[in-house]
Each structure stands twice: as C-alpha cells, then as structure tokens.
Structure 1
Amino acid sequence: MAVQETQRKARREFRNIHVTELSNYRMPFSAIVSILHRISGMLLFVLLPFILYLLQESIRSEISFAHFQGIAQHPLSKLVILALVWGYMHHFCAGIRHLVMDTHIGLDKDSARKTSVAVLVISLAVTFLVALKLFGVF
C-alpha cells in the first residue's frame, strides 16, 4: 500500500491552463506548425473567390490580362497575393510533413521538432523569394 501512495505522488500533475497563464505557456514548434496549417487552410478557402477571379482575369483575353496586371500592381493586391503564397507554401509543406508522419516516420520528439522547423523555414524562405520577385527587387 505504501508503494502505491509513493507512486501516486511521483507522477506529474497535469492541469488545465487558465487564460491568464497563456503568456507563460511555451508551445512546441510542432504545435505552432499545426495551428498555422489550419490557419493557412482557412485562408486559402476564404480567399478562393479572389483566387478564381484572378485566374479568370488572367486567361480570358488579352484585355482581361491587362486588367489583371493592373489589379496585381496595386500594393494591397500584392500583399494579398503574398499572403496566398505563404498560405499555399505552408499548407503544402505541412501537408507533406503530415503525410510522412502518417507512414509512422518522424514521430519521435526530436524528429517532429526538426521537421516542424524545416516546414517553417522552407515556407518562409519561398515566400521571401516570391516577395522579392513580386515587389520588383529581383
């Protein structure tokens, strides 16, 4: 009986986090990537009408393509396009990561951290390169 009481006291205590403690809580990279995967998917879904409109304007005729170029030159449109590029790249990279994890590869803590950091770095690097091209630096 004494051994069971000692084991109970040695176990870690898991408790709910109160709203006031959220600033002290440090989420792992894999949790951040998972949350951003959901946000990027929602972003792509919500902006789907804008994406389809841009596609329609770009392929309908030469005049509509010129109209598309005018829309794409506006700084706000460039920011929206850049957000779409980030959303797509992050969602794509995180989706590949989740597919690999579905095959039971990279499930341990160290591999999950490395792959989540890789998803963040790759998606942000590609978005940065597209931003350079989009804003005419390169």
Structure 2
Amino acid sequence: MRKERPKNLDLSTVKFPITAIASILHRVSGIIVFIALAIFLLLLNCSLTSESDFLRVAGYFDNFLVEFIIWGSLTGLAYHAVFGVRHMIQDLGHWEEMDSASLSAKAGFILTAVLSVLAGVLVW
C-alpha cells in the first residue's frame, strides 16, 4: 500500500534548524576563503615583480571597497575556522545531540561575530 505524502516544494516556507544553517554557511565560507586566497596570491605575485608594482598594489589597499573585501575575507576565514573546529569536535563524538549541537552553533556564531569585529578593527 502506497501512502500519498504531502509535498512541499516551496523552500521559502521551510524552517531550517540552526545546525543546518551553520553547516550550509560553513560550505559557503569555504568557497569565499578559496576565492579570496586566489585573489590574495595574485596580488602577492604582482607586488613581488618590481618596486613600482608593489607601490601600485599597496595603493589598492587605500580603497574602501578593497578594505571591505579584505574584511569580508577575514570574516569568512574566521567563520570557516571556528566551524571547522566545531565539525572536528563533532567527528570525535561530542555535541552530536540536537541540544548541544544547537548550543555549539550559537556559540560559534557569537565567536565569529567577535572575530569579525576584531578583523574590522584590524582593517580599518
């Protein structure tokens, strides 16, 4: 006997738990860190070719948009590091229950916010 189950195809009505949001954002932050690493390595390569190229690249960092990108990259790196450690702790068998996993996700968000503010102080 086959049961007809209701299907909800509207994902905007689905309420994800905080652990799912943390996991999805961890993947997104990994992509951000990967792209930022490529950009920073390109800038490093360009700055090492000559003194005039170094001064040109150093001048980029006076632009607000570039500073914002650096801050966003550092925030993405902080998020990825914090939640990477959280995932490794879960792989060791801790924080696997929903209550402790939710609490560790909330703590990770708070720690990332603090690190993001510190990155903002460092950049600006």
TM-score range relative to shorter protein = 0.7 to 0.9
2:1 counterpart of 1:17:
no
Identity of matched residues, %: 29
Question: Which amino acid is 1:118 matched to?
Answer: A
Larger radius of gyration between Structure 1 and Structure 2 = 1
The two structures have a TM-score, normalised by structure 1, of 0.74
Tell whether 2:74 aligns with 1:85.
yes
Q: What one-letter code is carried by the residue in structure 1 that aligns with 2:8?
A: I
Query: What is the CA–CA distance in structure 2 between the aligned matches of 1:45 and 1:81, rounded to whole Å?
Result: 13
Structure 2 gap segments, 5+ residues each? none
Inter-partner Cα distance in structure 1 for 2:56 and 2:33: 23
Which residue of structure 2 lines up, in the alignment, with residue 48 of structure 1?
A: 37
Pairing 1:1-138 to 2, within 5 Å after superposition: 16-19=7-10, 22-56=11-45, 64-135=53-124
Count of residue pairs brought into register by the alignment: 120
Per-residue CA distance 1:89-130 (angstroms, 9 max, x = gap): 111111100100000011011110011111111112111121
Once the two structures are TM-superposed, the CA of residue 23 in structure 1 deviates from its matched residue by 3.0
> TM-score scaled by structure 2?
0.82
Q: Which one-letter code corresponds to 2:122 in the other structure? A: K
* RMSD of equivalent CA atoms: 2.2
After superposition, the Cα gap between the structure-2 partners of 1:23 and 1:95, relative to the gap in structure 1 and judged at 3 Å, is same
CA distance in structure 2 between the partners assigned to 1:102 and 1:37 by the alignment: 15
